Structure formats: structure tokens, C-alpha cells
Amino acid sequence: MVPEKQAEEAIVASSTNYGEAEHDGGGKREVGAQEEEDDHSIFSVKSILWHGGSAWDAWFSCASNQVAQVLLTLPYSFSQLGMLSGIVFQIFYGLVGSWTAYLISVLYIEYRARKEKENVSFKNHVIQWFEVLDGLLGPYWKAMGLAFNCTFLLFGSVIQLIACASNIYYINDRLDKRTWTYIFGACCATTVFIPSFHNYRIWSFLGLGMTTYTAWYMTIAAVVHGQVGGVTHSGPKKLVLYFTGATNILYTFGGHAVTVEIMHAMWKPQKFKYIYLLATLYVFTLTIPSATAVYWAFGDLLLNRSNALSLLPKSGFRDAAVILMLIHQFITFGFACTPLYFVWEKVIGMHDTKSICLRALARLPVVVPIWFLAIIFPFFGPINSAVGALLVSFTVYIIPALAHMLTYRTASARQNAAEKPPVFLPSWTAMYVVNAFVVGWVLVVGFGFGGWASMTNFVRQVDTFGLFARCYQCKSPTAPSPPAAHHR
């Protein structure tokens, strides 16, 4: 028993040490030295805008990353699900997503405590989710985590480009959406110059402010507009549409594929535990009122409009919402792409390079396939649902729950755990029950029914609009009247 007790104390001590040291680019610095440095640089613009690693920075990053273009597709999901199911699914998946984000944070702390006990240094190295899986469960889990996470983030970045083109079209329709995708692909490529999540302080703050404005604009504009004549609220009426809408909401609250990177950028990663839940509670104040109000006003018209802005009347307020969402989608593109940049840097041996310009040049090949895929599949809402069912279900729900169960399957692992069960669920058995429920529900409802429905809907969009669609769901040009038929 003595060796086990010593091992436990070593792990806890290691965990405490890295929690009390400030993380800066993967290294550690003494708190006293950092506080002295902060006293001299408290008014430094670079410090205020660039170097973020506090719990507040993490909260802004999580909340900002959760609500991006999905905010504009939730009314579309409500038209598929109906009002009651839409609200229930938002609350349910929001809580489930917060739970699995908590599990990811626990596994990160466990992995880092074990590695630092072995004197492993993370200077100039950003820990990622697949490395946590590798260190705790082995290479097969690493491969699975890497495949799902990278594919999800790839298509998450694709969705941001599609959304940019879709939104700007409502301000300037002189160019088609495909041309706008070319333009915004070049703009979003500039995210290669942002080194890590440590440098997203001002962007996260601005991004959340932008989505807050857009959400409340949508809510107020829909209420002021009132219900359109003859409005109907027939959802749900088809299983395909019902489960497509449900998986879009699954995707909405599955934005924690970058949780490990956000935690690693924190000075005290242990403070992350409940940050995602607090971010989700704030997100509810944006998503539920806006989706409810827009669906109440326009009803079944949303079934053919995956972007809610297309139905709201043109005004200066709407144009402001479009512009702010464009800027936020640029930020979210960076959020989704940065982990991919890290993986690519590690593959080509450039991850520890200190030159920002060299790293930016090395990252550019990651942007090209994203750009290309956005041009091939310009289907805004349907891609959200497909990504939610086929990728998000595993990446941020099933894999974290299974990984937690397997990591702590032995008595010694539970006894020496760097993080014990939370106060609201103090039993390991209860945690296993909750994890098993999450795996079963998401596997059957999210991946099974959701995968079938979303792929059916996606194929239907391809058949209707074709690949490389020039302008998906755009205004139809006024067709000339056909010549009168001559009867003999």
C-alpha cells in the first residue's frame, strides 16, 4: 500500500505544480515571477489583446466557438422538429455536451499529471486530444481520435466558408455565392498567422459580442415583423426531417473538439472543469429565444431556408448582423483550423518553430482542401446535420465517454486518479451509468437515426442542386414569359 500511496501523492503534487504555474507556449513559469512581470506590463496593449490564458479567456473561447453559423440554422431545425422538440433537444444536448467536455478536461488533467510525473516537458508543444488518448489508452485510440477529430474540424472549417458566402449574399447579390466563397477562402487563409489559442483573447471577446447582437437582432426583428400571412407550424411531419433537425442541434452543442487546445492555453487548466457548462448556459440565452421567435414568425417557410437571415426584412440592423457574423465566422474558422494547423506542423516537423512567418507558410496547405470542399458542397444546413451525425457524435460524445470508462476501469486507476468524481456525482458507479447512457443514446439516436436522416437529406440536396452549385438557395431570376402556343 505504501508505494501506491506514494504514487498517488506524486500525481497529485505534479497536478498541483502545473496548475500553480503559468502556461506560456507549453512551458511553465513561477507564479511570483509572472505576477511581477504583470505589474510592469498591466497596461501593455500586447498583454491585453494577445496573451490570454485566464478562466475568463477560456469561457469566452468556449461560448464564442459554440455559437457561430449554427445560430442561423437553428430556426431551420425548429421547422423540422417543431417548437417543443427544438427547445427540449437544445437543453438536453447542451447538458450532455457540457458533461462530455467535463470528461475531456478530466482526461487531459490525468494525462498531463502522468506525463509530468515522468518529467516530460511540453515547452513549445501544444497537447491535443489524440495525444491524450494515446497516452491513456494506446495507439489505436490515438488513430481513432485523430481521424474523427481532424475530419470534423476539416468540415467545420468548410461550413464556416459556406456560411460566409451565404451571409454576404444577402447584402450584395451582384456576385454569386461561389464567387464569394473564393473571396472569403482567401480572407480566412490569414488565420495561419495566429500562433495558438493563447492568442485569441480579443477575438473570442469580440466574437461572442457579435453573436449576442445577431441573436437578439433575430429575436426582436422576428417579433416586430410578426407572423407572415397564413403561417403554418406543421413540424414534425417527416422522420427524415425530424432527425435531421435533431442532429443539427447535436452539432450545435458539440463544439468542444478544441477543448484540449483551449485548456492547454490556460495558466491553470484545472479551472476549466465547469467553464463549458457556464458557457452553454449563456448560449441558451441566445439560441432558444432567437430560434423560437423566428420559427414563430415564419413557420414552415424555414423548411426551404436553412439561413434564417434570408427571411428577415432587409434593413441596416440586418446588414449589421450579417457583417458581424461574417467577422465572427472568420474567427470561428480560425478556431476550427488551428488544431489542424498543429497536427500538420507535427507531421512535417515544424511545430516547435518559433518564426510565425515560417509556421504560417507551412500551414497554408491545410487551407486549400477546405477551400475546395466548400466550393464542391455549398449546402449550408444539410452539411451541419451530416457532420453532427457522422462526426460530432463520435468525436465529442461517444469517444470521450468511452475513454473515461476505460481509463478508470481498474481500482488502482480510480484510487490514483488526478481528478476525483464531481461533487454532484460523487460515485464512480454513477459516472459509469451516465457515460453508458450517453454512449447508447448518441450511438442509436445521433449516429444511427441521425446519420440515416442527414445523409438522405444531403443526397437530396446534391440531386437537386448538383455539385459545385453556383448559387445554392439563391433568388431565382425572373424568367421571360414563354411564347404563346399556336393552335392549328
C-alpha cell at 182: 473564393
Domain contains 95: yes
Domain contains 474: no
Planar angle of CA 367, 386, 347, nearest 5 degrees: 35
The rounded distance, in Å, linking the Cα atoms of 150 and 342 is 11
C-alpha cell at 275: 467553464
Q: Backbone phi, then psi, for 274, in 5-degree steps? A: -110, 10
Contact 22, 31 (CB under 8 A): yes
Q: Backbone phi, then psi, for 315, in 5-degree steps? A: -160, 170
- pLDDT given for residue 170 in this prediction: 74
- Amino acid residing at 14: S
pLDDT per residue of the chain (488 residues) written in tens, 0 to 9: 444 444 444 433 433 333 333 344 344 433 333 433 444 444 455 566 556 688 888 899 899 888 777 888 899 999 999 999 999 999 999 999 999 999 999 999 999 999 988 888 887 788 999 999 999 999 999 999 999 989 888 888 888 888 787 778 777 777 777 788 888 888 888 888 888 777 777 888 888 999 999 999 999 999 999 999 999 999 888 888 899 888 889 888 877 678 898 898 888 888 898 899 999 999 999 999 999 999 999 999 998 888 888 899 989 999 999 889 888 888 888 888 888 999 999 999 888 888 888 988 999 999 988 888 888 776 655 676 777 788 889 998 999 999 999 999 999 999 999 999 998 888 999 999 999 999 999 999 999 998 898 888 777 766 565 555 656 556 544 334 444 444 33
- Amino acid residing at 377: F
At which residue does the C-alpha cell 491553470 appear? 268
Domain contains 394: yes
Domain contains 176: yes
CA 303 to chain centre: 24
At which residue does the C-alpha cell 397564413 appear? 230
Say how many Å lie between the first and final Cα of the chain, rounded: 104
- pLDDT given for residue 40 in this prediction: 40
The rounded distance, in Å, linking the Cα atoms of 416 and 411 is 9
The rounded distance, in Å, linking the Cα atoms of 263 and 258 is 9
At which residue does the C-alpha cell 478530466 appear? 106
The rounded distance, in Å, linking the Cα atoms of 446 and 455 is 12
Strand partners, 28: 23
Q: How many domains does the chain have?
A: 1
- pLDDT given for residue 448 in this prediction: 93
- pLDDT given for residue 366 in this prediction: 92
Local structure of 139: helix, strand or coil: helix
Domain contains 433: yes
The rounded distance, in Å, linking the Cα atoms of 31 and 39 is 12
C-alpha cell at 161: 466558408
Quick one: 271 exposed, middle or buried, by C-beta within 10 A (0-12, 13-18, 19+)? middle
CA dihedral 324, 159, 255, 303 (to 10 degrees): 90
CATH number at residue 428: 1.20.1740.10
- pLDDT given for residue 184 in this prediction: 84
Residue range of the domain that includes 91: 52-465
Helical pair 399-407 and 129-137, crossing angle rounded to 10 deg: 30
**Cβ neighbours of 487 (radius 10 Å):** 4
Domain contains 4: no
Long-range contacts of 13-17 (CB under 8 A, 24+ apart): 14/113, 14/116, 14/117, 15/109, 15/112, 15/113, 15/116, 15/270, 15/418, 15/419, 17/116
Q: What is the DSSP string of 37-55?
A: HHHHHTT-HHHHHT---SH
C-alpha cell at 157: 472549417
Kindly provide the b/e burial profile for residues 40-54, where b requires at least 16 CB atoms within 10 angstroms of the residue's own CB: eeeeeeeeeeebbbe
Domain contains 22: no
Contact 33, 297 (CB under 8 A): no
**Cβ neighbours of 399 (radius 10 Å):** 22
The rounded distance, in Å, linking the Cα atoms of 428 and 422 is 10
The rounded distance, in Å, linking the Cα atoms of 250 and 310 is 23
Strand partners, 99: none
Domain contains 10: no
Helical pair 356-376 and 177-188, crossing angle rounded to 10 deg: 160
C-alpha cell at 295: 420559427
Kindly give the pairing relationship between strand 22-24 and strand 27-29: antiparallel
Contact 159, 383 (CB under 8 A): yes
Tell which residue, 165, 138, 187, has the closest CA to residue 69. 165
Tell which residue, 397, 435, 428, 430, has the closest CA to residue 413. 428
Tell which residue, 114, 62, 87, has the closest CA to residue 332. 62
The rounded distance, in Å, linking the Cα atoms of 358 and 360 is 5
The rounded distance, in Å, linking the Cα atoms of 383 and 154 is 12
- pLDDT given for residue 342 in this prediction: 92
Contact 77, 294 (CB under 8 A): no
**Cβ neighbours of 366 (radius 10 Å):** 22
